Amino acid sequence: MSKQRNSKLLLVEDSLSLAKLYQEFLSSMSVDVIHVTEGRAGLEQIERSDPDVVLLDLNLPDINGIEVLKQLEQLPHDPTVVVVTAMGTVNTAVEAMRAGAFDFLQKPFDAERLRVTVRNALQQQSLKALIKTYEDNFERDSFHGFIGSSIPIQTVYRIIESAASSRASVFITGESGSGKEVCADAIHTEGDRRNKPFIALNCAAIPQELMESEVFGHIKGAFTGASGDRKGAATMADGGTLFLDEIGEMDLALQSKLLRFVQTGTFQKVGSNKIEKVDVRFISATNRNPLGMVAEGTFREDLYYRLHVIPIHLPPLRECSSDILMIACKYLKDYSTEEGKNFKGFSKEATNIMVRYHWPGNVRQLQNIIRNIVVLQVGELITEDMLPALLSGIDDVKTVGPKQYLLDANQKQTDFQPVKPLWLIEKDAIEDAIEACDGNVPRAAALLEVSPSTIYRKRQGWTG
Amino acid sequence: MARKITELMNRQMLSGMEKEISREVLAEIIGSFIREVGEHLNALSESGNRQEQAAIIAEAHAIKSSAGTFGASHLHKVAGQVEVLGREGRLAEAIAAIDIVEDIAEKTIQTFTCEYIDATGAGPR
């Protein structure tokens, strides 16, 4: 028969006589007591033993109990803390509660008072464990930066949780706007490296000739304009996570250097002979098919297998149709608050249109549309007529160039237009948007519902 | 004589503890208490000689805290007074009151030793 585990109680008390007395008072309970006499030893013991309850004296020889509570907040452990003090002032109690204590014992107290308090604290700890189990095993409607409770997105949450504490490389795929950076950030925040740096690098947004320096850094004089030493993303991410977004855009020469870095953790700054070693966890992402890139010869196969250890595929928004309204409501609330508007929800017709739409730009497109409506419209309910025509699919012609959609989604296009090649239409649309935004590329990208890196990449293609 | 012992030692409190943990175990713990009071008393006296306000407050607080728990009512009170004087920045008065704490502590230790250590044969461990 399995024996039920005793609860663990850490007693942080510098007086040996008081510690012995409390231990005797608690001897009738099923509690294993660990005793330390100093605050720092208490924190170490919390990390080592993960106690259920901490009985913490406020006046300790090294650091006081309030400081222990503050440092405890930074640890992953979450014991229920009862503070013990002889001071007995209301201010001390309030300060301790603010710093995270569950209850407060004022000396002197009798055995029964101590046992009741410890029993309550253990009950509180059981409730916390129960809530955690519930959260871990049942549907969540948000997770780090994600919003949604549909089965495809729940699967993503589970993979992130399982992969977070590992050192294994993660490869995220998903359409543009599906939340690849949110996913990378969630993996970092959920894992043991959360207190270390998270460095994100968009391989498409940086000119190829500067990319090596961005990743590995350079030394003074390495190239024209290198007026001093500069740390690269590899150095800055030491101990933490390096996120390489749009990895498929990295050129082949740099891919071979990245391969060595991934394999050995070592690299050389541009212009330097010195080999440096760092501890970095790699997360890569692309909106393209990585195996397709390998087949095309634009992505090294060996690098692919190094990076593609734990694959995470982010579902497009249309596959999470039950989440669309939840996400829309969240952004509607946020943007209405930001813009000082009174929008409270969506009409039934507007909801139907939004749920039926295929959202090629995914969550980013949904965000932009909601923002657009909140800025330009007034009211409490978003109605069908406020939605851009492309959502209802009644005016596909107008969706050819974003310019028409941006300026007047309802105006019929009657003028004859000479037929242009598709790339030129795209170029015109992008340049018009940039001009309309006074040269601000990120703003133009937001209006065009693409990422800024897409614009940079396309512009590079036209000039190259 | 009986009245004086009552002031130095709260028998009702100690009797409650005896019911919880037995007189023998309590005697052992009181042995530790006596030793600790002695240590803190020496430290308090030295802090007074060096006029170290923070140390005076800390040592007086430690004596007050244990004394209160073990029913050493008079010692709890006078050590608490030194702590308050120290916190209020009345250093000269706090230092002057250390003599009183020493006197009461000596009597408290005698009383507790007589009642628990000599009577039960327990000693500080």
pLDDT digit string, tens, across residues A373-411: 999 999 999 999 999 887 766 443 333 333 333 323 333
Instruction: Centre a 10 Å sphere on the Cβ of residue B46 and count the other Cβ atoms it contains.
Output: 13
Query: A36: which residues sit within 8 A by CB, 6+ positions away?
Result: A10, A11, A12, A42, A45
Q: Is A311 exposed, middle or buried (0-12, 13-18, 19+ CB in 10 A)?
A: middle
> In Å, what is the CA distance from A434 to each residue of A203, A380, A408?
21, 32, 18
Q: How confident is the model at residue B5 (pLDDT cuts 50, 70, 90)?
A: very low
The strand ranges marked E within A257-379 are 266-268, 275-277, 281-286, 310-313, 345-346
Distance from CA of A119 to the nearest CA of B (A): 17
pLDDT at A404: 30
Query: B65: which residues sit within 8 A by CB, 6+ positions away?
Result: A15, A18, A59, A86, A107
- Residues A287, A202: contact at Cβ < 8 Å? no
Given a cut of 90, whether residue A241 has pLDDT beyond it is yes
Q: What residues does A286 pair with on adjacent strands? A: A173
Given a cut of 70, whether residue B113 has pLDDT beyond it is yes
Q: What does the alpha-carbon distance between residue A13 and residue A55 come to, in Å, rounded to a whole number? A: 8
Average pLDDT along chain A = 87
pLDDT at A447: 78
Report the SS3 class of residue A107: coil
Mean pLDDT of A178-205: 95
pLDDT at A367: 95
Instruction: Tell me how far apart the 2 most distant CA atoms of chain A are, in Å.
Output: 95
In chain B, which residues have their Cβ closer than 8 Å to the Cβ of A59? 58, 61-62, 65
For β-strands A275-277 and A266-268, DSSP reports them as antiparallel
Q: Which residues of A370-388 are buried (b: 16+ CB within 10 A; e: fewer)?
A: bbbbbeeeeeeebebebbb
Which A-chain residues 89-128 have CB contacts (< 8 A) with chain B? 107-108, 110-111
Query: B111: which residues sit within 8 A by CB, 6+ positions away?
Result: B5, B8, B9
The pLDDT tens digits for A283-301 are 999 999 999 999 999 999 9
Q: What residues does A243 pair with on adjacent strands? A: A200, A283
CA angle (A280, A286, A292) in 5-degree steps: 120
Q: How confident is the model at residue B122 (pLDDT cuts 50, 70, 90)?
A: low
Q: How confident is the model at residue B6 (pLDDT cuts 50, 70, 90)?
A: very low
Mean pLDDT of A168-193: 95
Are A21 and B62 an interchain contact pair (Cβ–Cβ within 8 Å)? no
pLDDT at A4: 61
The pLDDT tens digits for B18-40 are 999 999 999 999 999 999 999 99
Q: What are the two backbone dihedrals, phi and then psi, of residue A57, each rounded to the nearest 5 degrees?
A: -70, 140
Distance from CA of A88 to the nearest CA of B (A): 11
The pLDDT tens digits for A54-111 are 999 988 989 989 999 999 988 888 999 999 987 656 677 778 888 899 998 988 899 9
Q: How confident is the model at residue B71 (pLDDT cuts 50, 70, 90)?
A: very high
Query: Which residue of A16, A25, A86 is in closest CB contact with B32?
Result: A16
Q: How confident is the model at residue A456 (pLDDT cuts 50, 70, 90)?
A: confident
Residue of A nearest to B13 (CA): A110
pLDDT at A403: 32
User: What ipTM score was computed for the predicted complex, to two decimals?
Assistant: 0.91
- A385 interfacial to chain B (CB closer than 8 Å): no
- A154 interfacial to chain B (CB closer than 8 Å): no
For β-strands A230-231 and A217-218, DSSP reports them as antiparallel
Query: Which residue of A20, A108, A111 is in closest CB contact with B68?
Result: A108
Distance from CA of A16 to the nearest CA of B (A): 7
Q: What does the alpha-carbon distance between residue B115 and residue B5 come to, in Å, rounded to a whole number? A: 10
CA nearest to A373, candidates A351, A435, A146, A381: A381
CA angle (A250, A253, A255) in 5-degree steps: 50
Given a cut of 80, whether residue A207 has pLDDT beyond it is yes
The pLDDT tens digits for A319-339 are 998 899 999 999 999 999 999
Question: What is the percent of chain A with per-residue pLDDT over 70, rounded to a whole number?
Answer: 90
pLDDT at A173: 96
Mean pLDDT of B88-115: 95
pLDDT at A415: 39
pLDDT at B91: 95
The pLDDT tens digits for A418-451 are 566 677 788 888 888 888 777 778 778 877 878 7
Q: What share of chain B is helix, strand, coil (3-state, %, to 5)?
A: 85, 0, 15
Given a cut of 60, whether residue A414 has pLDDT beyond it is no
pLDDT at A438: 74
Instruction: Centre a 10 Å sphere on the Cβ of residue B99 and count the other Cβ atoms it contains.
Output: 11
Determine the straight-line distance between the first and last CA of chain A, rounded to whole angstroms.
Answer: 74
Distance from CA of A142 to the nearest CA of B (A): 48
Tokens for B81?
Answer: 């007074």
pLDDT at A400: 31
- A20 interfacial to chain B (CB closer than 8 Å): yes
Q: What does the alpha-carbon distance between residue A136 and residue A130 come to, in Å, rounded to a whole number? A: 10
Mean pLDDT of A231-250: 96
Instruction: Centre a 10 Å sphere on the Cβ of residue A104 and count the other Cβ atoms it contains.
Output: 19
pLDDT at A411: 36
Q: What does the alpha-carbon distance between residue A413 and residue A154 come to, in Å, rounded to a whole number? A: 43
Q: How confident is the model at residue A53 (pLDDT cuts 50, 70, 90)?
A: very high
